[in-house]
Amino acid sequence: MSLKRDKRKAWEEFLSGGEGASSGPFRASIEATRNCGLRCVMCSQSWRPEYRRRNPAFDMTPTVFEAVARELFVCLERMNFQGYGETTVSAHWPRILQLCEPFVGKMEFEIVSNLIRQDAEMWGKMVRMGFRIFVSCDGAVEETFRSIRAGARLSTVLGNLEVLRRARKESGGRAPTLLVTLQRRNAREMPLFVDLAARGGAERIIYSTVAESMPARFTDAARRWRGISEAGVVRGLARAAGWALARMSKPQVATIHTLPRSEVGDLVGRTLRRSVELGIPVEFTDSFLAVPCSGPAPPLENLGLEEGIAESIKVCVHRRCFKAHSTVVVNYRGDVGLCNHLVSDDNWEQMGNLLRDPIEKIWDSPRYRLARGRLARGEPVGAACRWCHAFRISE
């Protein structure tokens, strides 16, 4: 089947709430390593003892990557290097890049990176290969950045953004996207990130938030944005209740949700105004930050294929998730998981292993079918999954 027919079949099966998978995945998220090098305050890499030192066993080997590529690359439109570590610190990353080269132009490559590695040749090669680069950056000034990302400097990120800019001048390619994870200690810099993006040559910003348990004061914002009843919000928060339990034993980070609502609204407004002034589009993944919609969202059934797939990422609006019909997630061992937002040890949902079984067998396995049906019907799988069903409006 063609990619377009596969996508249409997957979309039809999703809309019907079915568990079937007569078509395969057309997107993939691959974890090249679980090593990182940084100790960010909001990440469990900071407190889990097994990640305190670099471990070569956490790097996906070229042999494993080749096996994964043989199974998946013939059917993909997009592949994202993303996981529980920093892709570019893998000892095997140069070889993995080489293995990707034959597929340049046949599908889109993406990477989420902290942009700390100083290797102009590597970054230039990725630009020439057409990579879309998403830069994770959590401080708009050096002091804040270093307080969140222990072991890194904002100046290094800015230097590498300039490397990317020069590479684009030579060979073309898209400007990077800035990914900002908001918490209380960087929330007041929200508008400053727009200036940072303009200075560094980024084309847009995506703001997400460090999640916490869902306090009652979320209710009004969630209801206004989604255009649903108070009872509907209560049901959504009940589904999300497990998130608090999932975090109780871990170090707590003061989130942006602890700021007064009026201050958050002011920060969002200033950010949107600065976005218009500098021509840097911004979007929010958390409905707590979003401008309320003017009315109910259009039913997914009423939208065309591509428009519907794009709209489906608003999981809290449509109360169901398309990813189990579209995206395969693979970790450094070749294990297949359920979602790129469930890659940590705490949240991983094991679906199979590509070194043991072909993707067709895993994709249509009883475990995958059960999860796929639940998500299509709006039933979250696990505590972290409940957050998306309560608040996610963007990837």
Report if pTM > 0.75: yes
Give CA–CA dist 214/304, Å, rounded. 34
Alpha-carbon dihedral angle through residues 66, 69, 70, 73, given to the nearest 10 degrees: -160
Quote the CA–CA distance of 243 and 225 in Å, as a whole number: 21
Could you tell me the pLDDT band of residue 383, with boundaries at 50, 70 and 90?
confident
Please say whether the dihedral angle defined by the alpha carbons of residues 298, 301, 302 and 306, taken in this order, is positive or negative. Answer: positive
CATH classification (class only), 24-212+231-236+252-292+308-350? alpha beta
Strands 39-40 and 149-150: antiparallel
Give the Cα separation of 237 and 229 in Å (integer): 13
What is the predicted pLDDT for the residue at 295?
Answer: 66
How close are the terminal C-alpha atoms of the chain, in Å?
28
* pLDDT band, residue 1 (cuts 50/70/90): low
Distance CA 133, CA 176 (A): 5
Judge whether residue 54 has pLDDT over 50: yes
What is the tens place of the pLDDT at every residue in 321-376? Answer: 999 999 999 999 999 999 999 888 888 999 999 999 999 999 999 999 999 989 98
Structure tokens at 210: 């460090």
- Give the pair of three-digit tokens for residue 342: 């469930």
Please report, to the nearest 10 degrees, the dihedral formed by the alpha carbons of residues 222, 225, 230, 236 taken in order: -50
**Which residue has better confidence, 293 or 280?**
280
Task: Please name which of 29, 35, 75, 39 lies closest in space to residue 55, comparing C-alpha atoms.
Answer: 35
Contacts of 281 (CB under 8 A, 6+ apart): 203, 204, 205, 275
Q: Per residue in 88-130, pLDDT tens? A: 999 999 999 999 999 999 999 999 999 999 999 999 999 999 9
